[in-house]
Structure 1
Amino acid sequence: MKKSRRTFLTTVSMLAGGSMVSLPSWGFGLGKTKLKVTLVGTGVRGTSFWGKRLVDQYSDLLEFVGLCDINPGRLAYAKKYIGVSCPTFTDFEEMVSSTKPDLVIVTTKDSNHHKFIIKGLDMGCDVLTEKPLTIDEDKCQAILDAERRSNKNLIVGFNYRWGPYSTKIKEMLMKKAIGKVTSVDFHWYLNTYHGASYFRRWHGLRQAGGTLWVHKATHHFDLLNWWLDADPAEVFAYGALEHYGDNGPFRGENCRVCEYKKECKFHWDITKDRRSMDLYVANEKYDGYVRDSCLYRPEINIHDKMSAQIKYANDTIVNYSLTTYSPFEGWRIAFNGTEGRLEAWLDIPYVKNENLNQSELHAAEMNQDGKDKLDHEPIIVHKLWKDFETTHVAMERGGHGGGDKRLHDKIFKNPQQEDPFDRAAGVRDGAMSILIGVAARKSIESGHPVRIAELTDLEPRAKRL
């Protein structure tokens, strides 16, 4: 019996939302109607990962029936760059009403995610949103309510879960390689190329991106929740802005016209980035968004150093930190358990005696061409009273460590394949990841621990369902 792509997407979304369902053993093709997709938000992530890559890789399975953005110039660029012939809209409801999509993809500014998620669900569509789900607990509750009343479903695009290296960690923890996990040390380092870029953009404003506790760290918190197979229960945090913003020795209107180009180590020449010039600079006149804003501008109001302790509902304790001006970009994690310790890391240059170009490193991670060569990275397991053992994991650098293409394949190509690692992410996953960051912000402001259960009507579970 043939099934529609709408039925397919609903089934996948139900799985992502945590419903206990079995996926039907069928795929796309064979004359079935293509999935009708719309995209709202035509910035760099929307036009590339959720735009051009879908067209390039899955045009036999889906078709874009509408693009939406408040900036008509970016819309025109996006239509050409993605390679579609669909109509464009500056009004979201008009787009959904006229095109009747099966799926709405949301890649707008974080502070607006909730508007389009809720409208999409209420208008009868399944919705896929970029991380983070939203930026505060009130918007989060509104999304939870909308998903419940809509009889539709929401997928959150957590790609880090799908990378082979992250998946191998999950597999080893599932097999109790170190017994029951009791505590975790998790430290993420953003370099002075990638980390600094957040402070040039709208992400530097708390009201737009919720701070990096939410916009960036939601990736890391989702990994923790997934690895530990539990929900966070309480957060205590510290944070400050002491490097960027009004801490700078000088400032200008933007990098292009700044009189301190030769003195500022953070100067970025956007004119050498053709895509940024075409997507952003050429269209500043429509909405005033400046992509190369000064990272020393005084209106920046987010933290640039962050540290938190997270207590999970299963009593695991996590010590987490995020640095935004590290000399190198990478991360390291250690899980302590009743039977040993598991250590993992990526891109720590002195471990391999590598001298990595930090700007090229980020470009390679974002690359989506699929031509990346395989590399092997270690995971160390120390058993109590035994020598340590090393497992080498085959992985690629591009597409966020190979996670991007695997996430897409699961959603659009291989929905019928069972996943023993439960990597599909739905509304509860999205909520629990951002609520750690929201709780961290509140803890910094109050000087007290913040309980996750006080933020929305979700009750933390000692084991995820």
Structure 2
Amino acid sequence: MTNFSRRDFLYALGVLAAGTTVHMPSKAFGLTRKLRVTLVGTGVRGISFWGRRLVEQYPDLLEFVGLSDINPGRLEFAREYMKVDCPVFLDFDEMLNQVKPDLIIVCTKDSSHHTFIINGLKAGCDVLTEKPLTTDEVKAQAILDAERRSGKNLIVGFNYRWSPYMTKIKELLQNGEIGEVTSVDFNWYLNVHHGASYFRRWHGLMKDGGSLWIHKATHHFDLLNWWLDSDPEEVFAYGALEHYGSSGPFRGTNCRSCDHKTECQYYWDITKDKHAMQLYVANEEHDGYWRDGCVYRHEIDIYDKMSAQIKYANNTIVNYSLTTYSPFEGWRIAFNGQHGRIEAWLDIPWMKNEQLDQESLHAAEMEQATRDDMIHEPLVLYKNWNEYKIIQVGSERSGHGGGDRRLHDKLFKNPESADPYKHSAGIRDGVMSVLVGVAARKSITTNAPVKIATLTDLVPMVKRE
């Protein structure tokens, strides 16, 4: 990689698309051998999507040469589950020194991403991190500085961009079907199964996940930034914790030991989930982490209802909301333009007059499975002075609407294919998506709008490069 030029770097970012992934085909990284990959953080996302799937799908392109985690039990389970024969390390820096990887994949707690990213870049490695990039503006600036000094690649794991449905929206907007976009209404609904899962886990603590403004909504803010082809400029937000945490009628430590199993609607029997039992419960003794923590714990301090108004550098105004205890899981969005309107949605049950098993939908997502079952989802294109048009988009119910699979395929099967809709994302995309959430948190605290430009040295651009 001594001859890895700036042009090669930009090409690599293009291939890496949606800000993500484990390695680049050999041309992108200038390698003529298998990519040497390490993984830090052996939770479910790490060992499945960024672990076992890569091992199974791309054995001729990459090899895992090390796994790292603070939990020795999860490390051993990860090695077995991923079907790899590589050393494991409790000390991340020791792993870097011993195995000399080309690429580090970071899947630890959000609050610790910056440590592994910065140390990895300093060690001369390329780094891929799961979203979100980090949890606050100070860590974001430190990452920016480290990436600039290193001359290495940093990629953020955005995959929603790659789904066919999201891409169709981008196509319509990019082709000017509704003219200049002036405003957007965007509502995301987490059902009582998926939403509650965040409050059971470490994500329920501000210090670990930065709140769902960061951990969850960074996906949504990245989509907005990509769709609008502009950076956010200013954010004003409201938020509160009214459903989970101390708001609950009773509480315990975790579901298994709770005295309120028969009366709590959020009781979850983790013993029925074999994978969770093997990965988490069997290894609690090492770090004390409970995967089935009580959703009413007093320590929970993140918001469970959120709403923000975002002003973009191109003058588009966005109204965004996130609900964490909806009876159904889904989302809807409307783009208002000078010459028309686009309406899009997914998994809103009454729109299709169907009853979806919400618990099963959540379980399928948590399994990190990739399925090939194709479906067609509508969106509506309105043009001023004309009748509306319903467009059917081929999609699928797996891996972020098919985005996961397409991201990997782009990276490892078709790295040189054209990217006319700018799916590719890099460090700026990662930072900007996080800064919207950071600004929202600050706005709630100060009851005032927050300028994105005051958070890091990045200046919002009207037209993204």
What TM-score range do you get, normalising by the shorter chain?
over 0.9
Could you give the per-residue CA deviations for residues 310-337 of structure 1, whole angstroms, max 9, x where no partner exists? 0000000000000000000000000000
Gaps in structure 1 of 5+ consecutive residues? 19-23
Aligned partner of residue 307 in structure 1, secondary structure: strand
Tell me: CA distance 1:165–1:17, structure 2 relative to 1, closer, same or farther (3 Å).
Answer: closer
Alignment partners' CA distance in 2, 1:142 and 1:53: 31
Task: Give the aligned residue type for 1:429.
Answer: D
Could you give the per-residue CA deviations for residues 226-285 of structure 1, whole angstroms, max 9, x where no partner exists? 000000000000000000000000001110010100000000000000111000011010
Q: Give the structure-2-normalised TM-score.
A: 0.95
Could you give the per-residue CA deviations for residues 15-71 of structure 1, whole angstroms, max 9, x where no partner exists? 6699xxxxx99869xx93101100000001001100011001111110000000000
Alignment partners' CA distance in 2, 1:406 and 1:331: 21
2:82 is matched with 82
Alignment partners' CA distance in 1, 2:175 and 2:181: 12
How far is the alpha carbon of 1:362 from its aligned partner?
Answer: 2.1
Aligned partner of residue 342 in structure 1, secondary structure: strand
Range 341-350 or range 412-421, more displaced? 412-421
1:132 aligned onto 2:144: no
How far is the alpha carbon of 1:396 from its aligned partner?
Answer: 0.7
Could you give the per-residue CA deviations for residues 97-134 of structure 1, whole angstroms, max 9, x where no partner exists? 11111100000000000000000001000000000000
2:226 is matched with 226
Aligned partner of residue 400 in structure 2, secondary structure: helix
How far is the alpha carbon of 1:373 from its aligned partner?
Answer: 1.3
1:139-288 aligned within 5 A: 139-288=139-288
1:352 is matched with 352
2:21 is matched with none
- Tell me, yes or no, if the aligned pair for 1:377 and 1:394 is still in contact at 8 Å: yes
Alignment partners' CA distance in 2, 1:117 and 1:131: 12
Tell me: CA distance 1:105–1:273, structure 2 relative to 1, closer, same or farther (3 Å).
Answer: same
2:453 is matched with 453
Alignment partners' CA distance in 1, 2:74 and 2:123: 25
Alignment partners' CA distance in 1, 2:269 and 2:122: 43
Task: Give the aligned residue type for 2:447.
Answer: G
Alignment partners' CA distance in 2, 1:308 and 1:37: 39
Alignment partners' CA distance in 1, 2:124 and 2:27: 23
1:339-418 aligned within 5 A: 339-366=339-366, 369-418=369-418
Aligned residue pairs total: 455
Could you give the per-residue CA deviations for residues 425-456 of structure 1, whole angstroms, max 9, x where no partner exists? 11000000000000000000000000000000
Task: Give the aligned residue type for 1:185.
Answer: D
How far is the alpha carbon of 1:11 from its aligned partner?
Answer: 4.1
- Tell me, yes or no, if the aligned pair for 1:26 and 1:416 is still in contact at 8 Å: no
Alignment partners' CA distance in 2, 1:14 and 1:147: 17
- Tell me, yes or no, if the aligned pair for 1:255 and 1:292 is still in contact at 8 Å: yes
Task: Give the aligned residue type for 2:140.
Answer: C
- Tell me, yes or no, if the aligned pair for 1:435 and 1:452 is still in contact at 8 Å: yes
Range 352-361 or range 261-270, more displaced? 352-361
- Tell me, yes or no, if the aligned pair for 2:72 and 2:90 is still in contact at 8 Å: yes
1:49-88 aligned within 5 A: 49-88=49-88
How far is the alpha carbon of 1:96 from its aligned partner?
Answer: 1.0
Range 408-417 or range 320-329, more displaced? 408-417
User: Once superposed, what is the RMSD of the aligned Cα atoms?
Assistant: 2.0
- Tell me, yes or no, if the aligned pair for 2:239 and 2:444 is still in contact at 8 Å: yes
1:42 is matched with 42
- Tell me, yes or no, if the aligned pair for 2:15 and 2:416 is still in contact at 8 Å: no
How far is the alpha carbon of 1:368 from its aligned partner?
Answer: 5.1
Gaps in structure 2 of 5+ consecutive residues? 19-23
Alignment partners' CA distance in 2, 1:150 and 1:76: 32
- Tell me, yes or no, if the aligned pair for 2:17 and 2:407 is still in contact at 8 Å: no
Alignment partners' CA distance in 2, 1:388 and 1:365: 33
Tell me: CA distance 1:417–1:193, structure 2 relative to 1, closer, same or farther (3 Å).
Answer: same
Task: Give the aligned residue type for 1:418.
Answer: A
How far is the alpha carbon of 1:304 from its aligned partner?
Answer: 0.1
User: Identical aligned pairs, as a percentage?
Assistant: 67
- Tell me, yes or no, if the aligned pair for 1:366 and 1:398 is still in contact at 8 Å: no
Task: Give the aligned residue type for 1:305.
Answer: K
Could you give the per-residue CA deviations for residues 324-354 of structure 1, whole angstroms, max 9, x where no partner exists? 0000000000000000100000000000011
Alignment partners' CA distance in 2, 1:99 and 1:292: 35
Alignment partners' CA distance in 1, 2:54 and 2:370: 13
Alignment partners' CA distance in 1, 2:316 and 2:87: 50
Tell me: CA distance 1:351–1:14, structure 2 relative to 1, closer, same or farther (3 Å).
Answer: closer
Alignment partners' CA distance in 1, 2:241 and 2:25: 51
- Tell me, yes or no, if the aligned pair for 1:307 and 1:320 is still in contact at 8 Å: yes
